[in-house]
Homo-oligomer: A and B are copies of this chain.
Amino acid sequence: MAHYTPPLRDMQFVLHELLRVTDTFKTLPPHAEVDIETVNAVLEEGGKFAREVIAPLNQSGDAEGCTLDRDTHEVKAPGGFQAAYAQYVEGGWPSLGCDLAYGGQGLPVTLNQCLYEMLNSANQAWTMYPGLTHGAYECLHAHGTPEQQQTYLPKLTSGEWTGTMCLTEAHCGTDLGLLRTKAEPSLDPSADGSFLITGNKIFISAGEHDLAANIIHLVLARLPEAPLGSKGISLFVVPKFLVAADGSLGARNPIFCGALEHKMGIHGNATCQMNLDGARGWLVGPPHKGLNAMFVMMNAARLGVGMQSLGLTEVAYQNAAAYAKDRLQMRSLTGPKAPDKPADPIIVHPDVRKMLLTARAYAEGGRALAVFTALLIDQELSSTDKTVKQDAADLVALLTPIVKAFLTDNAWIATSHCMQVFGGHGYVREWGMEQFVRDARINMTYEGTNTIQSLDLLGRKVLGDNGKKLKKFGALVQQLIDDEGVNEAMSEFINPLADLGDKVTKLSTELGMKAFGNPDEVGAAAVDYLRVVGHLVFAYFWARMARVALNHADNGDPFYRAKLATARFYFAKLLPETAGLIRTARAGAKPLMDMDASLF
């Protein structure tokens, strides 16, 4: 059975030594009092919950899955999920990052992200229940009427109720402009401003379950005579049970789970087909602007998906590293390392180390990026300095598709490597390694496929503003180069970083020129481009982490020795992937578009 230990030491390194988050918190009025001790205490307690309460339910939840009672339309989550969720609510964890006005604790997003990394390491399927709730909370917090906020936000904050996003229909996922679910004004004389919503949604995560008393669905639908396409879509809040003025639960709203999807992974989360048959819903935000409102949720969800994959990378690494130190098989090619044993532990073999270090470098690099991005969100939300706020918003916009796509692609690579370390045992369920791979796979697809992320990055975030946002990240890179350029010990990191920075600038310019002539050039290069920029971002953080580690080079603390060795591994063995990617990005659209569709 797989095990999990919250990586508190490495989180503290990123938070306090690399990014000094409390220095930034001091500049943000709502968080000025959040000190290192508070941060560490929250993470320690959160990690304890993850390790002790939900990690033990991960494999059993996968094996058991969810079940639908076709008569009552009720869904049962795997055994133990309900009690764990009750304990989560009891502990106040849902409210961590929520607004004080609705009973939240008002702590920084940065802390919430670290909590979610740990929850996802322990049990991604379980974590999706509270995770989607937080998305619904954010959407209503940003776009709901005061009345809606008063009705729903306190219960979403406490976690007594959970939330969903109901977007996809069978014929449309990426292209929501095609959706058909209809919303019609209620003809009931007791009308309360509600609409009657009818249609069928698919792939609704946590769409129905037995963890909470009510489920608040945020549903995309079309008003009568709405314009065609994505400009005719509105957003509605549709509770499972109607809520009376006094907050008590009323009639069951006809939004029912019609079927559960049987999936490759995340079996513990109920992926529902939801049928709305005149379900009562209330407009959130202006008519026909539903996609805008939904994108608040979507951007948070994309970062959340990155955290899912970061969590899986970390836990897969931990298990593979432990196995590699324990499993005896063959001798080191340079002579026995454990001569008293029948064979050496497999960690003596260079390629086993390569697989492990790949996962480790992706986990630790991903953690730095994820915490950095969360801290920017805190600045975007709470800074009193307009320039800081705008810069933070621009960097968040730039980094969101990278967190989503780069971290999820990396987790696919890393979890597969970690499974491979187990040999045939990795393919067998009991060790839990193949589950990490199956769970990780969905992260590349949902909340906007990784292709969509790459189009968002190259088309909208980079070329869409003539590289303005990219230059803001480039300025950070340049600052580091300027600061460290004279430091001989840092040259092994700074030189390749600077070189890649130049190449990204050139590549961006070249792709921008080509895109003028042929928009397909963006689509042809975008996926490779995102991976190149992802490596630039990782190289930046690995250089910075190496810098911190070098400061401690003489004190013999093994943590810093490991950090430095991992940084060197990253630059030697992972970063060079960019050499091929830049070539394929530059190879353009012609080799893709030349073949007639009929010839495929």
- Which residues of A line the B interface, CB within 8 A? 168, 171-175, 177-178, 202-203, 261-265, 321, 324-325, 328-330, 332-334, 342-343, 345, 347-354, 356-357, 360, 412, 416, 419-420, 423-424, 426-430, 434, 437-438, 441-442, 444-446, 449-451, 454, 518-520, 522-524, 526-527, 558, 561-562, 565-566, 568-569, 571-574, 576-581, 583-584, 587-600
Flag if B591 contacts A572 (CB, 8 Å). Answer: yes
Contact yes or no, B437 A264, CB < 8 A: yes
A362 nearest CB across to chain B (Å): 15
Whether A429 contacts B600 in the complex (CB less than 8 A), given A172-B329, A353-B593, A565-B595, comes out as: no
CA distance A562 to B595 in the complex (A): 6
User: How far is the CB of A221 from the nearest CB of chain B, in Å?
Assistant: 17
Cα distance A589–B328 in the bound complex, in angstroms: 21
What is the chain B residue whose CB lies nearest that of A450? B420
Contact between B262 and A354, CB atoms less than 8 A apart: no
Question: What are 10 A-to-B residue pairs whose CB atoms are below 8 Å?
Answer: A168-B424, A178-B328, A262-B428, A345-B597, A350-B524, A558-B598, A562-B600, A565-B599, A572-B587, A572-B591
Docked pose: A347 CA to B595 CA in angstroms: 11
Question: Contacting A445 at CB < 8 Å: which of B333, B426, B568?
Answer: B426
Whether B429 and A437, one on each chain, are in contact in the complex, defined by CB atoms closer than 8 angstroms, is no
Q: Are A330 and B558 in contact (CB under 8 A)?
A: no
CB distance from A186 to the nearest CB of B (A): 29
Closest to A568 in B: B591
Q: A202 to chain B: which residues have CB within 8 Å?
A: 424
Cross-chain contact B262 with A174 (CB below 8 angstroms): no
Task: List the B side residues contacting A334 at CB < 8 Å.
Answer: 518-520
Chain B residues, CB < 8 A from A578? 580
20 further A-B contacts with Cβ under 8 Å, apart from A333-B519, A350-B523, are A168-B424, A171-B328, A177-B343, A262-B429, A264-B427, A264-B428, A264-B434, A265-B427, A325-B600, A332-B520, A347-B600, A350-B520, A357-B591, A427-B445, A558-B596, A562-B599, A568-B591, A571-B591, A576-B584, A576-B587
Q: How far is the CA of A594 from the CA of B562 in the complex (A)?
A: 9
Q: Give chain B residues whose Cβ lies under 8 Å from the Cβ of A349.
A: 451, 523
Given contacts A263-B427, A445-B423, A580-B580, contact A343 B178 (CB under 8 A): yes
**Chain B nearest CB: distance from A401 CB in Å?**
14
Shortest A514–chain B CB gap in Å is 12
Given A329-B174, A334-B519: A354 in contact with B592 (beta carbons within 8 A): yes
Q: Please, which residues of chain B bring their CB within 8 A of the CB of A579?
A: 579-580, 583
Q: Using Cβ atoms and an 8 Å threshold, which residues of chain B touch A354?
A: 524, 527, 592
Residues of chain B within 8 A (CB-CB) of A519 are 333-334
- Check A561–B420 contact: CB distance below 8 A: no
**Cα distance, A348 to B450, chains bound together (Å):** 17
5 residue pairs, one from A and one from B, having the closest CB atoms: A350-B523, A333-B519, A576-B583, A572-B591, A565-B595
Measured between C-beta atoms, what is the minimum distance from A354 to chain B in Å? 5
Out of B333, B428, B600, which one reaches A324, CB within 8 Å? B600
User: In the complex, A8→B568 CA distance in Å?
Assistant: 49
Q: Which residue of B lies closest to A576 (CB)?
A: B583
Q: In angstroms, how far is the closest chain B Cβ from the Cβ of A322? A: 9
Nearest CB on B from A430, distance (A): 7
Query: Are A573 and B589 interface neighbours, CB within 8 A?
Result: no
Of the candidates B172, B449, B594, the one whose C-beta lies within 8 Å of that of A568 is B594
Q: Complex: how many Å from CA A267 to CA B83?
A: 33
A518 to nearest B CB, angstroms? 7
Choose one: B423, B445, B565, B600; the contact of A420 (CB below 8 Å): B445
Which among B178, B428, B524, B573 is the interface contact of A584 at CB below 8 angstroms? B573
A530 to B578, CA, bound (A): 19
| Nearest residue, chain B, Cβ from A566 | B595
Most buried by B among A178, A354, A596: A354
Q: Which residue of B lies closest to A168 (CB)?
A: B424
| Closest Cβ neighbor of A570 among chain B residues | B591
A356 contact from B350, B351, B600, Cβ within 8 A: B600
Cβ-neighbour of A591 out of B347, B569, B589 (below 8 A): B569
Contacts of A569 in B (CB 8 A): 591-592, 595
A424–B599 CA distance with the chains assembled, in angstroms? 25
B600 touching A527 by the CB < 8 A rule? no
Task: Tell me the complex Cα distance, A526–B348, Å.
Answer: 15
A441 contact from B437, B518, B590, B600, Cβ within 8 A = B437
Contacts of A600 on B, CB cut-off 8 Å? 321, 324-325, 347, 353, 356, 360, 562
Complex CA–CA separation, A547 to B437 (angstroms): 40
Q: Which residues of chain B have C-beta atoms less than 8 A from A561's C-beta?
A: 595-596, 599
Closest Cβ neighbor of A563 among chain B residues: B599
